[in-house]
Amino acid sequence: MWFVILCFVIVLIKILFDYSRPINFPPGPRGLPFIGNILDIIRLINETKYYSDTWCRLAEKYGSVVGLRLGLDQPLIIVSGKSAVTEMLNRSEFDGRPSGFLYKYRCGGMQQGILFTDTDVWHSQRRFALKTLKQFGFGKNSMEHILQHDAIALTNIIIELTKDGTVKNIRSIISAAVLSNLWLLIDGTKFDIGMENSNLKEAINIVQDIVKSSNVSGGIINQFPFLRHLFPNLTGFSAFVERQKRINNFFMEVIAKHKWKKINEEGTNFIDVYLQEIQKKNSSHSFFNENQLLYIIKDLFSAGVDTTNSTIGFIIAFLVVHQDVQSKVYDEISRVIDKDIYPSLSDKDRLPYLKAVIAEVSRLANIGPTSIPHRAVKDSTFLGFEIKKNYTLLANFKSIHMDKEHWGDPEIFRPERFINEKGDFINDSWLMPFGLGRRKCLGETLAKNTVFLFVACMLQRLHFMLPSNHPPPCLQGIDGFVIAPPMMDIIAVQRF
Tens of pLDDT, residues 48-103 = 999 999 999 999 999 999 999 999 999 999 999 999 999 999 999 999 999 888 88
Radius of gyration of the chain (CA): 24
Q: For residue range 261-287, list pLDDT tens digits in order.
A: 665 677 889 999 999 998 887 655 578
**Torsions phi, psi for 139 (to 5 deg):** 75, 10
Q: For residue range 253-265, list pLDDT tens digits in order.
A: 999 999 876 656 7
Cβ-based neighbour number of residue 48 at 10 Å? 15
Average pLDDT, the chain: 90
Three-state DSSP at 494 gives strand
- Residue 430 has what pLDDT? 98
Does 452 or 201 have the greater pLDDT score? 452
Instruction: Please state the rounded mean pLDDT for residues 147-171.
Output: 84
Residue 107 counted as an annotated binding residue? no
Report the range of poorest mean pLDDT among 2-16, 66-80, 452-466. 2-16
User: Does residue 9 carry a pLDDT above 70?
Assistant: no
Q: For residue range 167-225, list pLDDT tens digits in order.
A: 777 777 888 888 888 899 999 888 777 766 778 888 888 888 888 888 888 889 889 99
Report the range of poorest mean pLDDT among 28-37, 70-79, 153-162, 389-398. 153-162
- Residue 442 has what pLDDT? 87
- Residue 109 has what pLDDT? 85
- Residue 211 has what pLDDT? 83
Q: Where in the chain are the domains?
A: 1-9+23-494
Contacts of 212 (CB under 8 A, 6+ apart): 478, 480, 481, 484
* Residue from 446, 199, 190, 192 nearest 305 by CA: 446
Cβ-based neighbour number of residue 46 at 10 Å? 9
pTM: predicted TM-score of the whole model, two decimal places: 0.92
Instruction: Please state the rounded mean pLDDT for residues 352-370.
Output: 97
Q: How many whole angstroms separate alpha carbon 112 and alpha carbon 95?
A: 15
Q: Taking the domain 1-9+23-494, which CATH number applies? A: 1.10.630.10
Report the range of poorest mean pLDDT among 2-11, 169-178, 341-350. 2-11
Instruction: Please state the rounded mean pLDDT for residues 418-443.
Output: 94
Q: How many whole angstroms separate alpha carbon 76 and alpha carbon 36?
A: 11
* Residue from 330, 93, 375 nearest 222 by CA: 375
DSSP summary character for residue 367? S
